[in-house]
Amino acid sequence: MAIRFANNCSNCVNLVENAFCSKHEVLVSQKYTCDQFDMKAELKNERSCTNCNKHETSSCAHPSKAAPGMLCSSWAPSA
Ligand code: SF4
Ligand code: SF4
């Protein structure tokens, strides 16, 4: 199973100045989420073979297909 970014306030585009939700106009924390969660664009684009911890290792699920811009369900974050 792939490891993913959490759908929580700390990864939401509506979070401003670290703790304020611009959608609901309240203070929130990384513990929370809601139905208006919207993943930050830079995080959406961050997952690919080039920053996968398994890239060019024996753990890669698809070594012959791994390439920049590609992604599979075995993606794992680098440290
Ligand atoms: S409360 Fe909802 S909209 Fe506001 S920052 Fe958290 S997930 Fe995003
Ligand atoms: S093919 Fe999958 S496991 Fe291999 S580097 Fe790409 S995302 Fe990681």
Q: Pick the ligand that lies closest to the CA of residue 40.
A: 1
Q: Report the distance separating Cα 2 and Cα 50, nearest Å.
A: 15
Q: Are 62 and 56 in contact (CB under 8 A)?
A: no
- 35-76: per-residue pLDDT in tens? 999 999 988 888 899 999 999 999 999 999 999 989 999 999
Task: Determine the distance separating the centroid of ligand 2 and the alpha carbon of 77, expressed in angstroms.
Answer: 10
φ and ψ at residue 61, rounded to 5 degrees: -75, -25
Cβ within 8 Å of residue 78, ≥6 positions away: 51, 52, 53
The ligand placed nearest to the CA atom of residue 73 is 2
More confident of the two residues 3 and 12: 12
| Residue 29 structure tokens | 């924390």
Cα(8) to centroid(ligand 1), Å: 7
How many angstroms separate the CA atoms of 69 and 71, rounded? 7
Is the pTM for the entire model greater than 0.85?
A: no
Closest atom of ligand 1 relative to the 22 alpha carbon = 4
pLDDT, one tens digit per residue, over 4-31 is 889 999 999 999 988 999 999 999 999 9
